[in-house]
A and B are shown apart, each in its own frame.
Chain A
């Protein structure tokens, strides 16, 4: 599933500095401040000169450790936090120039957000919580409840409509959070560390659930996490943040194969490359004429190397590689597969 290349959301040199006189100091410094400059002005650089493009229909993961500025950045994207400078283009419209009324309009109809600690309203039932964004818009009761019930069914919570949040487990609560954020059918979906507060087993289950949902919904997603494995699992593209800056942006494969610096390498180090690298990356052009012994079979270009390995490992023949449309696009040799398998 290749994402179509229109950027849904663009970030152009976005800065968020905390401290008094931040905006003035940044302007005086010509729109950019280094570590020394920040220290001199006693400012904290939460987000520093971030440039991003989130494409339509892709899962864009922003990964960083705590304090790296990822939560601040995602809040800047929806203007929950006012960036100090920069541009945020949503469908080509600069959100930083939008009026408060316009922002309310955009948030109501085009944005959805899932929170780390669920942020469910304790006084509303599951149904009430999921219908809440629609209620705020003034949608009438029967319409919003029908829509909410559909969402509850989508996340697999049917039968719990009348429960209150405190009667649900963490995983169930986050399902409510997800259903609520989807109830307005947003164009862009922000998930701020949605699974970090859950137990490891539940987290895994929710990630699977998330993948399933995305296969159905095909939303444009900005997903925040501090867990590199989660990022690798879910992302179409990943941006790694450190100290407010984006260190590297790329597909999981690109990060794993070509980490930009020590910091990124530190994360990718423990990743099993074969599970990340796709056949497409290591395939070779089809030889001019069919080899003497013929082909061993076909594999798909979008499959991970680790998944096709058992097939190829002992085969002496080349494999043909098909793309999603079933066209032959290259061939795969055993030696290349083994080389990847041997790396970590």
Chain B
């Protein structure tokens, strides 16, 4: 729809219409802002309650939630069995396979309890594990992938992270299939019944915006501290994207395939499992990849409720500021993430090709060469491992530790560049961050709520206005306003910085194919890394505080800003650029007057994504001592205060929803104005 003449005609038409529509809104905005400013400057003595919500006005949601939780755990019952029994049942279902996976990969099969336990069977040898994963790599993506995956796992052994990594892998191996199955089921249900999809949509929205920490607390209550709770948390975290992707993938199955299924007389079950799901496989595999990545992202967070493994290493290192150890464990997670990410991506895009050789009629071994080789490897290394311990467990003598190296590097940087780093930090803190924070904290919540409502109405109609102001009001009335403002301030600063870095990078590289490939590799890798990893270098250089948090958030959230801007720039209609060149635009004019303008909707989507990522990262930066909603959630977690955690978590979600809806509505308006609307 973006042909040159539609653009021109809409551009010609707008000024005339602009004439009076905009004066009306201008007038409203002028009055509103004037009233707001007056109220902000002079209103405080008159209506103190509009600036900070007094305690007796607050609605005690936290207490209600906490007592509900207590009731749930202690009294709730489904008649035949109690709620606690129900959660215990789920725990048992998860625990059983987890124990097996853990035994296979890490502890070996034990008899007896605690320290009296005797190992009956050793775990799978490290050589066999590496070889099996390399084989999967070969199967999915050929020799290069096999080498990459083998190297990643080899890295774990070499740097002495093997056992921790296997504990983590065990929980991922349990959480991922359960997450996939759960997401797929919910997706199929949502695909089949419209009402279910309608109910599901807002729940998914909320689940993806509520910070993970917030639902760690209730999980802790229901499942206790330990790996089971961690697996449950991981599944819940990974479920929404899988559900969404499953619904999308199923809806994208062509109508003809659907008709085919009915024409050959499929029953409902046959239709789902023989026709729809296999046809949607490519799309579903994207979801599988998402689940794996999210599960890895959860590794460190889940270790707060007892997951153990690599996450626990990072967490303790971070708490003790033991940079070297933290980095090593962090890198191990990265290695695991890269290996599993590339594996699942390769499996997803593996093109189907018939087998060249006629192996189909051979023996069992011949038909399943990979499975046979794996079993043989496990058995062989197991037996040899009994004789030579080095085959069973990676010999300690061959381990390399870079922990001290990293500590030294950090020490060296801190000694030699302390003043410079400190100067940058202080300049930014004193001149930008703190004034901005003060400004936000001084605003009256009532005024902000009304202004947000007005903005929502202007952008997307009264419904949006109402939604936005109700959410803002809820944040205030539950007593979260000041902390929410700190969140907004940290998020705002980070997003601005991320855009200041990301947009120019995109502008410079988007149209240079080779350069862009490199940038793409970098941002792909950045997005593979678990969010915690970003904290470490920031903490090393700037210690704890708001500034450190900002740096980490920017690093985490810059990728979408780059990606979407570049995407927007590249999809600008080349005819329009040609028209601009023909009209004698300089390259700079081309960029500012044509390309950036037309890419604006995409850039706004990127901004939206950046904000979402920034908010999710902010909660994690609570570990480096911010004072925002994230901290509130984190404290709630350490105190196991369900109500406090959920209320603060929901506040974060509300901020995310407000930002998301406003920006989406804005992007939609821009798109309509530019005549780009589909």
Q: Which residues of A contact B (CB under 8 A)?
A: 75, 78, 80, 104-109, 111-113, 115-119, 121-125, 132-133, 135-137, 162-164, 166-167, 184, 190
Contact = CB atoms under 8 A, between A and B. Distances in A.
Contacts of B256: 115-119
Given A80-B259, A107-B265, A162-B354, 6 more contacts: A80-B263, A117-B254, A121-B275, A124-B278, A125-B354, A133-B265
A123 B278 contact: yes
Contacts of A184: 264
By size class, the interface of chain B is: 20 to 34
Contacts of A162: 354-355, 360
B575 to A, nearest CB: 28
30 contacts: A75-B259, A80-B262, A104-B265, A104-B266, A107-B264, A108-B265, A109-B265, A112-B263, A113-B263, A115-B256, A117-B254, A119-B257, A119-B259, A121-B260, A121-B275, A121-B278, A122-B281, A123-B279, A123-B281, A133-B264, A133-B265, A136-B265, A136-B270, A137-B265, A162-B360, A163-B354, A166-B351, A166-B352, A167-B353, A190-B263
A113 B354 contact: no
B254 A107 contact: no
B263 A107 contact: yes
Interface string B267-297: 1001000110011011000000000000000
Contact of B352 (A135, A164, A190): A164
A80 to B, nearest CB: 5
B353 to A, nearest CB: 6
Contacts of A115: 256, 259-260
Nearest to A118: B256
Contacts of B279: 121-123
A122 B352 contact: yes
A297 B267 CA distance: 61
B285 to A, nearest CB: 12
Interface of B: 254, 256-257, 259-260, 262-267, 270, 274-275, 278-279, 281-282, 351-355, 360
Given A117-B254, A123-B281, A164 B260 contact: no
Contacts of A119: 254, 256-257, 259-260
A167 to B, nearest CB: 6
Given A115-B259, A117-B254, A136 B354 contact: no
B141 to A, nearest CB: 17
Contact of A136 (B274, B282, B352): B274
Contact of A104 (B254, B267, B282): B267
B264 A78 contact: no
Q: Which of B265, B270, B360 has the most CB of A within 10 A?
A: B265
Contacts of A111: 263
Contacts of B263: 78, 80, 107, 111-113, 190
A113 B259 contact: yes
A121 B263 CA distance: 14
Contacts of A109: 265
Contacts of A104: 265-267
Contacts of B355: 162
A136 B264 contact: yes
Contacts of A123: 278-279, 281, 352
